[in-house]
Amino acid sequence: MPVTKAEAAAAEPPQAPHPAPSRTRRQLYEARQRRRSLGIAALSTGAVILFLVVLIPMAPGWGAVKRSFFDGEVFAQTFPGLLQAFLLDVAIFAWCAPAIALLGLAIALCRDVRAPALYPLRLFGIVFTDIFRGLPVILVIYLIGFGVPGLGLPRPWNSPYIWGSLALMLVYSAYVAEVIRSGIEGVHASQRAAAASLGLSDADTMRFVVLPQALRRVVPANMNLFIALQKDVALLSFIGPVEIFRQAGVYKSLLANFTPYVGAALIFLAITIPATRYADYLMTRQARART
């Protein structure tokens, strides 16, 4: 009995599919381009660093600058005291940051009020953000830090720690409120409409639908604000608290040397650079999630 072509093809053992290449030509090209870019970046960076290392010591006043700003003995002598003073910066940041987050959220919610009867809350949010975003931080610290204790309040209510911290809270909560408001407005209106169709009230829509999305979107931006807050805590030294900046000034006066300021700068960088890189990581991850 003759065998048909279909039966012959069915009788043949199935051929294994050709293995797909592990990397396409496009991927190999992109990998080569990345390696080339990294190599060029490393060479150019090394050349700039080498140029600075060779050029700066050739300046006529380098010896005096080195003694005034990079004295190893002074650095070793003052660095422990600077670390101790930095604990006050950390403490001020620790009690300011939660208050700023809560106050900023409250102001942002006031700005988003849509009921006509609650328009005074919306107006309050507008005025608050306009005032405290429009004033320099140091000016607010001076006005509150010197003005309120001037009322003759009893201890501890005349403490510059309290009123300086309040000044930071007011200024930074205005910025945080605007960042959160941008996140709220970035949630599409269809989300509110869908929540309303399910019978959710305006308050429940904000709490369960809008805010979770908005807060997740603005985490990187608020991280950058809190990094700036950690640095601006040093501004409170102008109204009295002996934190790291004021302590560095004390050492500078005692030793007639600016090296303590360099030590203070290194301490700030040790805190802010990792936090900045983490904020960049969050922004990159967020951008990838959107694509």
Q: Which helix (H) or strand (E) holds 267?
A: helix 259-290
Question: How would you classify residue 20: left for phi > 0, otherwise alpha for psi between -120 and 50, otherwise beta?
Answer: beta
Helical packing angle, 72-111 and 244-255, nearest 10°: 150
Q: What is the pLDDT of residue 155?
A: 79
Structure tokens at 106: 């409250």
Structure tokens at 212: 């979770």
pLDDT band at 7 (very low <50, low <70, confident <90, very high): low
- DSSP string of 162-208, one letter each residue: HHHHHHHHHHHHHHHHHHHHHHHHHS-HHHHHHHHHTT--HHHHIII
Q: What is the pLDDT of residue 58?
A: 84
**pLDDT tens profile 178-192:** 999 999 998 888 888
Q: What is the pLDDT of residue 154?
A: 82
Average pLDDT over residues 73-88: 94
Whole-angstrom distance, CA of residue 82 vs CA of residue 88? 10
Whole-angstrom distance, CA of residue 121 vs CA of residue 110? 5
Average pLDDT over residues 116-131: 92
More confident residue, 114 or 4: 114
pLDDT above 70 coverage of the chain, percent? 92
Taking 80 as the threshold, does the pLDDT of residue 20 lie above it? no
Q: What is the pLDDT of residue 116?
A: 86
**pLDDT tens profile 220-252:** 889 889 999 999 999 998 888 888 999 999 999
Picking from 8-17, 101-110, 119-128, which range would have the lowest pLDDT averaged per residue?
Answer: 8-17
- pTM assigned to the model: 0.80
